[in-house]
Structure 1
Amino acid sequence: MTSAPLLTKPSLLRRRSAGRAATAAERRPKRPRLYALDGMRLFAALSVLSFHWTAYVGIGGVWQGVTPKQVLPLVNRMAAYGWLGVELFFVISGFVICMSCWGKRPGEFFVSRVVRLYPAYWAGIALTSLVVLNLKQFARSGAGDGLDAKTILGNLTMLQTPLGMRHVDGVYWTLWVEMRFYLLFAIVVATGLTYRKVVAFCGIWTVFAVLAPQAGIPLLTTMAMPNESPFFIAGVGMFLIYKFGQNLLLWGIVGFSWILALTRLDAIKDTYVNVLGHPLSWNVMAAAVTMAFALVLGAALGLFDWVQWKWLTVAGALTYPLYLIHQEIGWTLIHFLLTKHFGVKAALGTALVTVLLAAWLIHRLVERPLSKVLKTALDRSMSTLRSVSDESAPGKP
């Protein structure tokens, strides 16, 4: 008669303990805004820009005989690793997505991603297509090949990779990676975000990412993203540290992801070695990845709470449009300036100021107003969807 209550006590105690931990996390003093993450975003974007502009110099028709490799040899050598800014982006994304959708319903998560991604992206496609198609004499050789109405329309969906279409701008490949992360994380959001479910998500995704290459199933590999997943998972783990405090389990998620990220570096670097035409040091890449992890982890642990420079909010807002327009438009602008007898340094400086200004204009004139319109319309749509679903639920008259 007494055995059943005794058997249920451990699970009851565990539930009560978990509840107390969650309540304690909710009662913690509100942390200040993480301005440091905005600064890290801008640093990552400028790192990628430096790679495309000063390291990736074998671009047909852009450089007029003199390249950054000759004029800025030290910058050229450092910028050869600038592509690792993408990996920093992925870690930040794992952190921020988990943070921004905590406590939100699936519809709210969907709306937030559409509003955040598409307005600036559509502006980037329009501007890049306009520049490349109308300034072909200055654009990179082949930049306009196959850039027809069908390709541009396909790119507007952000699904050009699974559709088998070329990118309007090569940097858009990362958006398909981000979207797959959102699709996976949406599964957890749909079931209701909890500490336990997010930890389980990190563990399950890690297992599938490790096993996918050996399984030989293309769809599984596509969704598991073995090369990119450690960065996202680490970012998610860091957010859990930020929200609930550090413990061995969360440190294990971050540490294990860091090890996996380092093991995947050789697979990731091959593409960049091919375009650079020279080898890359694994030690340097490992140090850069470790720094990326350390920066975001430092933000999670509160080491950068003292950074309260409000101008970093603007810097963070410029990051996404800057990333979207810097490559093809940047190369076209540099080529144009070089034909006008600008030196390499002057051309690079002028191009940087120009794309930063263009990114700010996209943010202020397109992204902000269009995001508000989209959010209002989508919120209304989600409200209708919920109300109609409630009315048609079983048991309703």
Structure 2
Amino acid sequence: MIERDTSKKHIQQVDYIRAIASLAVALFHLGGKALPVLKYGWLGVHMFFLLSGFIICWSIPADYTWKMSGRFIGKRITRIEPPYIISIGLVIMMNFIVLSHYKPDWLNIICHFAYLNSFLEKPYLSPVYWTLGVEFQFYLFVALCFPWLKSKYGLWLLLILCIVPVFVKIPGGLLLGVFPVFGLGILYYLYLKKITDINIALFLGVLIFFCCIHTVGWLPAGMAFVTLLLLTAPLKSYAMVSFFSKISFSLYLTHDIVGSRLVVFMGTKLPKNVLFKGLEFLTGIVVSILFAYLFYLVIEKPFFKLSKRISYTPISED
């Protein structure tokens, strides 16, 4: 039987991945699409997917049972949903300010609250929201399947779920379509917890990596592999990395609402040359970071602390 791990140490590598992924996506949306390196910033999404596969499993008690699923989902909703809903309010408010004849599609907006847009093929108000829908699907999966994942049949379940999208076409925005990326993170968790040994982990890792290539493509699969290497690297703590890690979710949520719109607005007022394009881009990212920090302090941080107060029901050990 696996004993409960009561000493969850902070994993420094996670800070690097969160910081890099959020900045990459933000830079991409703020104008990086036209730049040689930053045009690949969208791959930060797959860094987050692999990280979630690992860190969500890592944060759960080893003696987790289905009786704890309500607590698990409650913690995730408390942590994620309020900042997400408030960001939706910011989008709507910004649309009213910028677009003089804006008429909100309230049914579409309501669908956002339950992450139904991907299932109903309705557009999201922000280009990053679809990934939150995938993440929430993953939370539901973990809540239901984690006891199986850490059992002796867990590796088979993991492999099957990674192979299915290779042979079955999955609509975009659904967890199963990108599950192999999450699967690499889950496999790393199973290895660290000694649920599998190094030889089996490497063998399955190669199989899941090829599933990643088939389902999401070479570039996302390659970024998933790089993320996995970052998780294993001996990285030191730095204040700047810690800062961007802390505001990563807030930056991810709000950069397009604030920064992208500011860049577009400046583009309509300033001369269209390289110098002013650079000024627009730099202003957009600086304002996005400052706004994200404020959003973190006022909105995200209080709900993060509140989620920590939701504890898992202790399991008696006879």
- Shorter-chain-normalised TM-score: which range? 0.7 to 0.9
**Shift >4 Å, 4+ stretches:** 221-224, 371-376
1:135-154 aligned at under 5 Å gives the runs 135-136=98-99, 147-154=104-111
- Which of 195, 198, 210 aligns to 2:166? It is 210
* Cα separation, partners in 2 of 1:147 and 1:84, compared to 1, 3 Å: same
Instruction: Report if the CA contact (8 A) 2:30-2:284 is conserved.
Output: no
Match of 2:186, as an amino acid?
Answer: V
> What does residue 233 of structure 1 align with?
183
1:252-263 aligned at under 5 Å gives the runs 252-263=203-214
After superposition, give the CA deviation of every residue in 1:256-295 in whole Å (9 maximum; x if it has no partner). 11112122345xxxxxxxxxxxxxxx6xx2xx64353233
Deviation at 1:123, TM superposition (A): 2.0
> What does residue 55 of structure 2 align with?
96
Deviation at 1:185, TM superposition (A): 2.0
> What does residue 87 of structure 2 align with?
124
CA distance in 2, matches of 1:360, 1:151: 29
Partner secondary structure for residue 115 of structure 2: coil
Deviation at 1:371, TM superposition (A): 4.4
After superposition, give the CA deviation of every residue in 1:286-314 in whole Å (9 maximum; x if it has no partner). xx643532332442x4x32x423355343
> What does residue 293 of structure 1 align with?
225
> What does residue 192 of structure 2 align with?
242
Partner secondary structure for residue 264 of structure 1: helix
Deviation at 1:354, TM superposition (A): 0.9
Identity of aligned residues (%): 25
Instruction: Report if the CA contact (8 A) 2:22-2:252 is conserved.
Output: yes
* Cα separation, partners in 2 of 1:295 and 1:208, compared to 1, 3 Å: closer
> What does residue 62 of structure 1 align with?
none
> What does residue 301 of structure 2 align with?
368
Deviation at 1:91, TM superposition (A): 0.7
Instruction: Report if the CA contact (8 A) 2:76-2:307 is conserved.
Output: no
Deviation at 1:37, TM superposition (A): 1.4
Match of 2:15, as an amino acid?
Answer: D
Deviation at 1:92, TM superposition (A): 0.7
* Cα separation, partners in 2 of 1:97 and 1:164, compared to 1, 3 Å: same
Q: Please state if 1:133 is matched with 2:93.
A: no
180-189 or 159-168, which deviates more? 159-168
Instruction: Report if the CA contact (8 A) 1:45-1:85 is conserved.
Output: yes
Q: Please state if 1:350 is matched with 2:283.
A: yes
Deviation at 1:369, TM superposition (A): 2.1
Match of 1:87, as an amino acid?
Answer: H
Match of 2:246, as an amino acid?
Answer: A
After superposition, give the CA deviation of every residue in 1:331-363 in whole Å (9 maximum; x if it has no partner). 210122234437111111111111111111111
Partner secondary structure for residue 165 of structure 1: coil
- Which of 16, 23, 39 aligns to 1:39? It is 16
Instruction: Report if the CA contact (8 A) 2:73-2:140 is conserved.
Output: no
Instruction: Report if the CA contact (8 A) 1:37-1:296 is conserved.
Output: no
Partner secondary structure for residue 322 of structure 1: helix
Instruction: Report if the CA contact (8 A) 2:165-2:215 is conserved.
Output: no
Give the CA RMSD over aligned residues: 3.2
Instruction: Report if the CA contact (8 A) 1:35-1:309 is conserved.
Output: no
Deviation at 1:317, TM superposition (A): 2.2
Partner secondary structure for residue 359 of structure 1: helix
> What does residue 107 of structure 1 align with?
70
Instruction: Report if the CA contact (8 A) 1:188-1:201 is conserved.
Output: no
Of structures 1 and 2, the larger Rg is shown by 1
Partner secondary structure for residue 193 of structure 2: helix
Match of 1:341, as an amino acid?
Answer: L
Deviation at 1:167, TM superposition (A): 1.2
CA distance in 2, matches of 1:291, 1:223: 20
Deviation at 1:365, TM superposition (A): 0.6
Deviation at 1:96, TM superposition (A): 0.9
Deviation at 1:234, TM superposition (A): 0.4
> What does residue 325 of structure 1 align with?
254
Match of 1:354, as an amino acid?
Answer: V
Deviation at 1:121, TM superposition (A): 0.7
* Cα separation, partners in 2 of 1:109 and 1:375, compared to 1, 3 Å: same
Instruction: Report if the CA contact (8 A) 2:12-2:237 is conserved.
Output: yes
* Cα separation, partners in 2 of 1:265 and 1:153, compared to 1, 3 Å: closer
Instruction: Report if the CA contact (8 A) 1:49-1:327 is conserved.
Output: yes
* Cα separation, partners in 2 of 1:298 and 1:168, compared to 1, 3 Å: closer
Q: Please state if 1:180 is matched with 2:109.
A: no
Match of 2:259, as an amino acid?
Answer: G
After superposition, give the CA deviation of every residue in 1:36-68 in whole Å (9 maximum; x if it has no partner). 212211211222223222244xxxxxxxxxxxx
CA distance in 2, matches of 1:120, 1:222: 21
Instruction: Report if the CA contact (8 A) 1:35-1:310 is conserved.
Output: no
CA distance in 2, matches of 1:371, 1:33: 16
TM-score, normalised with respect to structure 1: 0.67
* Cα separation, partners in 2 of 1:36 and 1:91, compared to 1, 3 Å: same
CA distance in 2, matches of 1:150, 1:298: 41
After superposition, give the CA deviation of every residue in 1:112-165 in whole Å (9 maximum; x if it has no partner). 21122112211211112211221227xxxxxx8653444333323333333453
* Cα separation, partners in 2 of 1:44 and 1:292, compared to 1, 3 Å: same
Instruction: Report if the CA contact (8 A) 1:321-1:359 is conserved.
Output: yes
After superposition, give the CA deviation of every residue in 1:229-260 in whole Å (9 maximum; x if it has no partner). 11000010111222327511112222211112
* Cα separation, partners in 2 of 1:293 and 1:175, compared to 1, 3 Å: same
